[in-house]
Amino acid sequence: MKKKAFVLIGLMAILLSSCLVKSLHPFFKESDVINKKEFLGTWIDQDSAKWVISKYEFSKGFMKGDSIDNSYLVEFYEDTSAPSKFNAHLFKLDNILYVDFFPVMKGQMEDFFSFHLVPTHSLARIEFKDNGQVFINWFSEDWIHKLFEENRVKISHETISMGGDENAAGYVLTASTNELQQFIRKYGNEIKAINCEEDENFLCIRLNKVK
């Protein structure tokens, strides 16, 4: 997907559609989750969109108030539209840092079209640079498509038709978290999975903190 298309259709639509490696189940276990306070704050990406990252609060139930876990609320602001919101978990496997994004659907899209959408987890590599920047590189669906075509990987998944076009099929991984982590350990360091410098179809964000 072209870079300009990301600006036009918004991050929520991207993370709910194709382009990225998506899963019904989380890529992380609670024991893998880590906390990095330097991830908090207000950021601007390379396209001048704003990202506000705070601790994720959730309701413990009726009359019990709210609670905070080791995850983050990521709010993506594009122009003057309402933000796209995600629950993000930082986790580490084999000393490599990843982030699992899951859309917060409530209050985001409440129309007939949105009722047909199934939220999924997406996977990205994340790097905290010495200069304060944060790089987030999502794993590409084009990359995993090639793995399936070459029969290099066998992991439970479903092929989904994008509008009835056989050439626009997407994938949703249905494997368990254990299987997903075996997959990550094998391919997480493969540069072709997140090769943003050479392939404009990959989604990569460069964040600079402003507050």
Structural domain including 178 reads: 3-209
Q: Which residue has the higher pLDDT, 116 or 170?
A: 170
Three-class secondary structure of residue 6 per DSSP: helix
- pLDDT over 50 at 4, yes or no: no
pLDDT at residue 81, as a whole number: 72
- pLDDT over 70 at 35, yes or no: yes
Q: Using one digit for the tens of pLDDT, what is the confidence trace for 11-23?
A: 545 454 558 899 9
Tally of structural domains, the chain:
1
Tell me, what amino acid is at 79? D
Instruction: Classify residue 144 by burial, with Cβ atoms within 10 Å: 0-12, 13-18, 19+.
Output: buried
Which residues, listed in sequence order, are joined to residue 53 by a DSSP beta bridge?
Answer: 41, 74
- Phi and psi, residue 126, nearest 5°: -135, 140
| Sign of the torsion formed by the C-alpha atoms of 142, 120, 189 and 75 | positive
The total of other beta-carbon atoms located within 10 Å of residue 51's CB is 23
